[in-house]
């Protein structure tokens, strides 16, 4: 019985840790946004560019000098309108119909952040 009780206590402890980690991830998401990977897998000729130019507004022509490199991880808020806000700038989720920002999976080893 003592062994069964210890096993149950261990299971409860693991469940509490899992819930705490999940709550911490959710707090971080609300505070800083979600992680996205700059993905060139659907871009016809990604070798022609080093990544996606940030925009000063939600206008494809309003380019900033800084670029989110292919394969980089960015953290921002998906506005649900095809744009991700990163700090005070924006990145398009799609270019010419191709998805160029995809949500990064939780708990994986990530490429360097911008």
Q: Cα–Cα–Cα angle for 26, 59, 36, nearest 5°?
A: 30
Residue-level pLDDT at 32: 67
Residue-level pLDDT at 53: 95
Q: Could you tell me the mean pLDDT of each successive run of 10 residues in the chain, 114 residues long? A: 88 91 73 86 72 95 94 92 94 91 72 46
Residue-level pLDDT at 110: 47
Q: Cα–Cα–Cα angle for 39, 25, 11, nearest 5°?
A: 125
At 40, phi and psi to the nearest 5? -100, 10
Residue-level pLDDT at 46: 59
Handedness of CA 69, 72, 74, 79 (dihedral sign): positive
Residue-level pLDDT at 16: 92
| 37 vs 103: CA distance, rounded Å | 6
CB 112 within 8 A of CB 72: yes
Residue-level pLDDT at 97: 86
């Amino acid at each position: 019985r003592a062994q069964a009780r210890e096993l149950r206590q261990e299971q409860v402890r693991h469940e509490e840790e899992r819930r705490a980690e999940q709550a911490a991830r959710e707090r971080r998401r609300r505070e800083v946004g979600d992680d996205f990977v700059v993905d060139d897998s659907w871009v016809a000729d990604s070798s022609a560019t080093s990544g996606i130019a940030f925009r000063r507004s939600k206008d494809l022509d309003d380019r900033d000098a800084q670029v989110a490199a292919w394969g980089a991880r960015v953290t921002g808020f998906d506005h649900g309108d095809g744009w991700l806000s990163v700090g005070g700038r924006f990145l398009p989720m799609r270019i010419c119909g191709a998805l160029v920002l995809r949500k990064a999976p939780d708990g994986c080893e990530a490429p360097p952040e911008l």
